[in-house]
């Protein structure tokens, strides 16, 4: 497959792709790798849906559910300030009816990723969620005009000298789902200080957390199937292990990616704070209790 853009002298010489799901610790990981100064500046450079040209909105996290409880959640006026109304030009007319609609400018996304995600030593780091990966593949194929290229070959056609896939997960996907449901309500996706997060007015919803947990688990399986199907052995990072052994995990990743570490190099302390709080624990317990009760009725 041809590259999505013409190569330039300033293009990166080595790259890696972080594969993630929302609230898996990927932002913490990206921040830590960026702070090294030698491992690129990974971020979600391809956070765009083909049909809308923008990132997922809160309501998008709940689409295509077969659960009537989720349908009720989407229709509940109490949550419309979080999830938003039905509507927008795509819901009203469909992208295929809008003559002004154009697909996202993929070469521009790639150029921006190269520019923003590369450190002076030529290492490029970037990140993608499974929810965006299909459209990443479709946009790359559309740009090259070759729709028959296997998904396995697409990342390497876009990212120069792609060395490794880095797969970050959480062991506890219930806490991950709770964290995601809180973030969708607060729109606070990272924490850089010890200031208390504003939890006032946040609302627990069992259908919301249960749906998000199911999707997270499904997307982890999808990443696993992708790696197995492509014959790829990713560098695996578990969020809980990253928190417990930040320095050791970082050195393992730098070596696994193939980044040359200067003599005397030291890993910086994490620059982000843990977002879980007493409310998170309360919601985890509420979810577990209601899940257990529902299983007993089944």
Check residue 198 and give its pLDDT.
57
Nearby residues of 200 by Cβ (< 8 Å), 6 or more positions away: none
Quote the strand ranges of the chain, DSSP E.
14-20, 123-129, 162-169, 235-238
CA 32/CA 46 separation, integer angstroms: 20
pLDDT band at residue 8 under the 50/70/90 scheme:
low
Q: What is the pLDDT of residues 181-208, one digit of tens each?
A: 999 998 876 554 333 455 668 999 999 9
**Mean pLDDT on 222-237:** 98
Domains present along the chain, CATH in parentheses:
14-297 (3.40.50.300)
φ, ψ at 127 (rounded to 5°)? -140, 150
Query: Closest Cα to residue 250, out of 264, 263, 235?
Result: 235
pLDDT band at residue 89 under the 50/70/90 scheme:
very low
What is the DSSP-derived secondary structure letter of residue 191?
-
pLDDT band at residue 215 under the 50/70/90 scheme:
very high
CA 114/CA 93 separation, integer angstroms: 35
Percent over 70 (pLDDT), the chain: 85
CA pseudo-torsion sign 93, 96, 101, 107:
positive
CA 112/CA 118 separation, integer angstroms: 10
Residue 90 has pLDDT above 50, yes or no: no
- Average pLDDT over all residues of the chain: 87
Residue 72 has pLDDT above 60, yes or no: yes
Q: What is the pLDDT of residues 250-275, one digit of tens each?
A: 999 999 999 999 999 999 888 766 65
Q: How many residues are given for the chain?
A: 298
Percent over 90 (pLDDT), the chain: 63
CA 197/CA 274 separation, integer angstroms: 11
123-129, strands of its sheet edge to edge: 123-129, 14-20, 162-169, 235-238
């Amino acid at each position: 497959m041809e590259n999505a853009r013409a190569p330039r002298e300033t293009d990166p010489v080595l790259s890696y792709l972080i594969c993630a799901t929302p609230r898996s610790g990927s932002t913490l990981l990206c921040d830590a790798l960026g702070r090294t100064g030698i491992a690129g500046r990974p971020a979600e450079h391809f956070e765009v849906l083909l049909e809308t040209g923008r990132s997922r909105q809160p309501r998008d996290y709940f689409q295509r559910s077969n659960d009537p409880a989720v349908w009720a959640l989407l229709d509940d006026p109490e949550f419309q300030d979080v999830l938003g109304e039905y509507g927008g030009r795509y819901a009203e007319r469909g992208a295929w009816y809008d003559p002004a609609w154009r697909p996202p400018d993929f070469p521009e996304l790639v150029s921006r990723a190269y520019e923003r995600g590369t450190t002076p030593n030529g290492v490029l780091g970037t990140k993608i969620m499974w929810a965006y990966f299909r459209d990443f593949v479709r946009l790359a194929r559309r740009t090259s005009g070759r729709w028959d290229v296997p998904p396995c070959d697409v990342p390497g056609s876009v990212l120069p000298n792609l060395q490794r896939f880095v797969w970050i997960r959480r062991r506890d996907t219930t806490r991950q789902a709770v964290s995601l449901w809180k973030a969708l309500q607060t729109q606070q996706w990272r924490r850089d200080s010890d200031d208390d997060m504003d939890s006032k007015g946040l609302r627990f919803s069992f259908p919301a957390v249960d749906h998000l947990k199911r999707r997270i688990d499904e997307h982890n399986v999808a990443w696993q199937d992708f790696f197995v199907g492509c014959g790829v052995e990713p560098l695996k990072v578990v969020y809980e292990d990253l928190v417990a052994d930040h320095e050791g995990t970082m050195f393992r990743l730098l070596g696994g990616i193939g980044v040359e570490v200067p003599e005397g190099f030291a890993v910086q302390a994490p620059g982000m704070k843990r977002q879980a709080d007493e409310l998170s624990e309360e919601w985890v317990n509420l979810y577990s209790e209601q899940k257990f009760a529902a299983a007993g009725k089944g």
